[in-house]
Amino acid sequence: MKIPSIALLLLCCCYHGKAHVYRPVKPKNIILMVGDGTGLVHLYAGYTAKGGQLNIYEYAKTIGLSITASFDDFITDSAAGATAFSTGKKTRNGMIGMGPDSTSLKTIAESAFDKGLSTGAVVTCELPHATPASFYAHRPSRKMYPEIAKDITNNPAATILVGGGLPYFDTSFLKKAGYSISIGIEAMLKNTGERQICFTDTFKEPPPAPKRGPSLSLGSMHAISRLSKNKKGFFLMIEGSQIDWGAHNNDSAHTIAEAIDFDMAAGEVLQWAKKDKRTLVIITADHECGGLTLHGYDRVNKRPVMHFSSTHHTAEPVPVYAYGPGADMFSGVYQNTEIYNKMMQLLGLR
């Protein structure tokens, strides 16, 4: 049988190994979902309480482990943890979008915006809180809320924001910066501004799940519906902020409710990404919190018996679940800063 010349050529390339150079399939959009303080066990507790189902487990076939230590501490805080994702640099605990020597570092959101992509953040904490702040602000201390709120207001890369913390912002400054402001989930769904800040409530800190309602799911899909209009693509950071707070308080019910709320948002996002086919979804954590282990099953409350060995963060590496084009790059064990490097490479930002 005569072998067509093109097939012969391909066979030759394979034989010489040239066809095996690894080039990841590149996504158009990246959605980074951060479960603050969410170790392996927090999500498994949610899975158990949901009767053995978790959207994240169903979708995420690629799993890796992220080592979370900060520049100056074996145990990171959320500021240094998020700065590792946003800038690719390990920094000192408490620092926002800055290196250990206090120099401002360009964040992935800022790089994406400069290349014409749309950018945003959806969270269940106050918007100047450490995790969202690390993508849109540059300050030596996470405690500088008024300054962080000003940075966010003046950062053109902060195109669509959903979360709490209204009392920290000057609404006249926000309006001057071109923001269309909405308060409450209903109003958010009607907010059609080019640049928008959607406060989910009027409090400094949004209420815990399930009391605050599906603000994370609805906020995530609202942001995606706006951001996905950009033909060049988008970068969105979504945070289940309060899983960490439940664990700090060693509050089993709150930790589980937050893990389920986060998974519900992840389910919506993953379902959208499945249809879109050009979006990479990465689901991870900045660190573990509470040193959580499960010691049995509580048949009365239909949830696992949870034992917290700490009221603080721990050094445990955290899982990285990935779905979509480029997901296979996230298998293995690596430093948290590698998440930034991989995302930058995949979006063609370096």
Interface residues toward Zn ion, by CB under 5 A: 244
Kindly write out the interface string for residues 28-47 of this chain, putting x where it contacts Mg ion by CB under 5 A and - elsewhere. --------x-----------
**Position with the least CB separation from Mg ion:** 131
Q: Residue 110 or 244: which CB sits closer to Zn ion?
A: 244
Q: How far is the CB of 134 from Mg ion (least distance, A)?
A: 9
Which single residue brings its beta carbon nearest to Zn ion? Answer: 244
- Residue 140, classified by CB atoms within 10 Å of its CB into exposed (0-12), middle (13-18) or buried (19+), is middle
Residue whose CB is less far from Zn ion, 62 or 249: 249
Q: How many amino acids of this chain bind Mg ion (CB under 5 A)?
A: 4
Contact 83, 135 (CB under 8 A): no
User: CB of residue 315 vs Zn ion: minimum separation in angstroms?
Assistant: 13
Instruction: For residue 200, give the nearest of 261, 150, 119, 289 by alpha carbon.
Output: 261
| Among the listed residues 248, 167, 178, the one whose alpha carbon sits nearest the alpha carbon of residue 208 | 248
Of the listed pieces 74-82, 91-99, 193-201, 272-280, which binds Mg ion according to CB under 5 A? 74-82
> At residue 102, what is the residue type?
S
83 contact choice in Zn ion, Mg ion, none (CB below 5 to 8 Å, kind-dependent): none
> Closest approach of Cβ 343 to Zn ion, in Å?
23
- Using CB under 5 A as the binding rule, whether residue 110 contacts Mg ion is answered as no
Round to whole Å and give the CA distance between 131 and 147.
15
Closest to Mg ion by CB, 117 or 123 = 123
CA 214 to chain CA centroid, Å, is 17
Both tokens of 12, joined, read: 């030759």
Strands 279-284 and 318-323: antiparallel
Q: Report the C-alpha gap between 71 and 99 in whole angstroms.
A: 9
- 84/98 Cα distance (integer angstroms): 10
Q: Which is nearer to Zn ion, 239 or 244 (CB)?
A: 244
- Does residue 126 belong to the site contacting Mg ion (CB under 5 A)? no
Q: Which is nearer to Mg ion, 135 or 234 (CB)?
A: 135
Q: How far is CA 77 from CA 91, 187, 206, 305, 339, in A?
A: 10, 33, 20, 26, 17
Minimum CB separation of residue 7 from Mg ion in Å reads 53
107 or 314: CB nearest Zn ion: 314
DSSP of 168-232: GS-HHHHHHTTPEEEESHHHHHH---SSEEEESSSSSSPPPTTTT-SHHHHHHHHHHHHHTT-TT
Residue 241 interaction partner, one of Mg ion, Zn ion, none, beta carbon < 5-8 Å per kind: Mg ion
Q: Peptide bond before 140: cis, by omega within 30 degrees of 0?
A: no
Cα–Cα distance for residue pair 40/231, rounded to 1 Å: 35
Q: Rule CB under 5 A: say whether 87 interacts with Mg ion.
A: no
Pick between residue 118 and residue 241 the one whose CB is nearest to Mg ion. 241
What type of residue is 57?
Answer: Y
Q: Rule CB under 5 A: say whether 201 interacts with Mg ion.
A: no
Q: How far is the CB of 135 from Mg ion (least distance, A)?
A: 11
- 134 lines the binding site for Mg ion (CB under 5 A): no
Please identify which residue in 68, 217, 228, 241 interacts with Mg ion, judged by CB under 5 A.
241
- Closest to Zn ion by CB, 27 vs 291, is 291
Least Cβ distance, residue 289 to Zn ion (angstroms): 5
| Encoded tokens for 152 | 């966010």
Q: Does 76 bind Mg ion (CB under 5 A)?
A: no
Query: Residues interacting with Mg ion, by CB under 5 A?
Result: 36, 78, 131, 241
